[in-house]
Amino acid sequence: MKVIVCGAGQVGFNIARQLSSEGNDVVLVDRSEELIRKVTDMIDVGGVAGYASRPDVLKEAGAEDADMMIAVTYSDEVNMIACQVAHSVFSIPRKIARVRAQSYLEPVWRDMFRRDHMPIDVIISPEIEVAESVLRRISAPGAFESMPFLDGRIRLIGTQLGSDCALLNTPLRQLTQLFPDISAIVVAFERQGKLHTSTGDDQLYEGDNVFLIAAEEDVDRTLALFGHEEKIARRIVIAGGGNVGYAVAKKLEQQKSGVKAKLIELNRESAEQAAEGLERTIVLNGDVLDSAILQEANIAEAEAIIALTDDDKTNLLAGVLAKDAGAKTAMILVNNQNLMRLVTPLGIDAFINPRATTVSSILRHVRRGRIRALHSVRDGAAEVIEAQTLATSPLVGKSLNEANLPAGVIVAAVLSDGEIKIPDGQHVLRDGDSVVIFALRDTVAKVEKLFRVSVDYF
Check whether domain 366-451 has CATH 3.30.70.1450, yes or no: yes
Whole-number pLDDT of residue 451 = 59
The CATH code of domain 130-225 reads 3.30.70.1450
**pLDDT, tens digit only, all 458 positions of the chain:** 899 999 998 889 989 988 888 788 999 999 999 999 999 999 999 999 999 999 999 999 999 999 999 999 999 999 999 999 999 999 999 999 999 887 888 777 777 777 667 788 888 888 888 888 899 888 888 888 899 999 999 999 999 998 888 889 989 988 888 888 899 999 999 998 899 999 989 999 999 999 999 999 999 999 998 988 888 889 999 999 988 999 999 999 988 677 899 999 999 999 999 999 999 999 999 999 999 999 999 999 999 999 999 999 999 999 999 999 999 999 999 988 888 888 888 988 888 888 888 888 888 777 655 677 888 888 788 999 888 887 777 778 888 988 888 889 999 999 998 899 999 889 998 888 899 999 998 887 677 666 554 444 43
How far, CA to CA in Å, does 132 sit from each of 81, 156, 357, 375? 27, 15, 10, 13
CA 370 from centre of chain: 19
Q: Please spell the DSSP secondary structure of 319-336, one letter per residue.
A: HHHHHHTT-SEEEEE---
CA atoms within 13 A on the CB side of 306: 28
Residue ranges with strand state E in 86-183: 94-98, 122-124, 145-149, 154-160
- Tell me if 454 sits within 8 A of 389, measured CB to CB: yes
pLDDT at 336: 84
Contacts 24+ apart (CB under 8 A), 81-85: 81/53, 82/6, 82/52, 82/53, 82/58, 83/118, 83/119, 83/120, 84/118, 84/119, 85/53, 85/54, 85/55, 85/58
Judged by DSSP in three states, 15 sits in helix
Strand partners, 214: 155, 184
pLDDT of residue 457: 42
Contact 389, 427 (CB under 8 A): no
SS3 137: helix
Q: Which CATH number fits domain 235-352: 3.30.43.10, 3.40.1280.10, 3.40.50.300, 3.40.50.720?
A: 3.40.50.720
pLDDT attached to residue 450? 63
Give CATH superfamily name and number for 2-124. NAD(P)-binding Rossmann-like Domain (3.40.50.720)
Residues of the chain with CATH 3.40.50.720: 2-124, 235-352
What is the reported pLDDT for 456?
A: 46
pLDDT of residue 271: 95
Instruction: Outline which parts of the chain fall under CATH 3.30.70.1450.
Output: 130-225, 366-451
Q: What is the spatial distance between Cα 440 and Cα 160, in angstroms, rounded to a whole number?
A: 19
CA distance 66 to 16: 14
Cα 235 to Cα 229: distance, rounded to the nearest angstrom: 17
Contacts of 276 (CB under 8 A, 6+ apart): none
Query: How confident is the model at residue 405, as a pLDDT?
Result: 86
- Amino acid 362: pLDDT: 85
